[in-house]
Amino acid sequence: MRVAITGSSGLIGTALSRALTDRGDQVVKLVRRAPESPGEVRWDPAAGQLDPEALQGISAAVNLAGAGIGDHRWTASYKQTLIDSRVDSTRTLTEALAGLDTPVRLVSGSAMGYYGDRGEEEVDEDSAPGTGFLPDLVQRWEAAAAPAVSAGLPVAFARTGLVLAPDGGGLMKRVLPLAKLGLGGPLGNGREWWSWITLADQIAALTHLVDDADITGPVNLSTPAAVRQRDAMKALGSVLHRPTVFPAPKFGLRLVLGEFADDVVASTRMRPKVLQQNDFQWRHRSIEDAMRYAAA
């Protein structure tokens, strides 16, 4: 199989590219710089430039491009960057895919931010969107794939939960240094629901979606075992043999993270109904196993 990937240099894109290559697929990486190998194709999503001819012969595309949600404080300028980097990339890619001679499977990046802060409510792929910046962003992100959907391509939207990755990647980049210092207590009141998935299961789920073009629409990428945030931090402390007593109050997080702090302590209890219905098998189903994997 020949698979095109945007955002191939990111945490998830790098791991997915490696996994697909290891199983014998040919990966075509869309890059913004001059190509350095035959497996790279240059594009300019901000300018809407991607030659469809460069994608001829691909069977699937995985769209992971977008500026990091937690990389910077949410200034008005950076919030616009978060929107533009996703909408422009998705629109540019899907317009090119819609112009190909042969229909292509598309797995387009999305996020559990679609649901917003839902308290104790359990949400699944049929639930309505939440309110606020992130839900609005994700809705615009998914809507940008309209050219592919209108062309009748099989499109799945991977609404990813909190990714737990080894070596300080993903969410662990924020919490692992604090936990190692014995400061990995609850963020906020600790009762918020965290819907999580390990990087290993994230890659397995994306690969599952690449292979099964019959799965379309939103797909929640998380384990079935959402946990209270305080229990996640307790599991991490147990793995590291560090205390998890001292909480980080929300006002303190806002001083450090700005508006993004509201989403760090948001409560989203997300059920991966579509993956369950399609017999997906998770490698890490408990938060204890996940934290052992992520803290290794």
Q: Does pLDDT of 185 surpass 70?
A: no
pLDDT over threshold 70, residue 65: yes
- Statement: residue 128 has pLDDT above 80: yes
Dihedral of the alpha carbons of 263, 9, 5, 57, in degrees to the nearest 10: 170
- Tell me whether residue 253 is in a domain: no
Alpha-carbon torsion (193, 170, 166, 219), positive or negative? positive
Number of domains in the chain: 1
Q: Is 184 domain-assigned? A: no
Provide the residue range defining the domain that includes 130.
2-165+195-224+272-283
CATH number at residue 114: 3.40.50.720
Q: Does the global pTM surpass 0.85?
A: yes
Nearest to 62 by CA among 84, 89, 44, 38: 89
Of 158, 156, 147, the C-alpha closest to 66 is 158
pLDDT number for residue 240: 86
Whole-number Å distance between alpha carbons of 176 and 185: 11
Q: Which residue's entry shows tokens 């792929």?
A: 125
Q: What is the pLDDT of residues 225-235, one digit of tens each?
A: 999 988 988 89
The chain-wide mean pLDDT, for the chain, equals 90
Q: Residue 252 — pLDDT band, cuts 50, 70, 90?
A: very low
The answer to the question of residue 128 being in a domain is: yes
Assigned domain for 28 exists: yes
- Cα–Cα distance measured from residue 174 to residue 207, given in angstroms and rounded to the nearest whole number: 27
Containing H/E element for 57? none
User: 249 or 116, which is more confident?
Assistant: 116
Give the model's pLDDT for residue 71.
Answer: 75
Strands 227-228 and 193-194: antiparallel
Query: Is the predicted pLDDT of residue 285 greater than 90, yes or no?
Result: yes
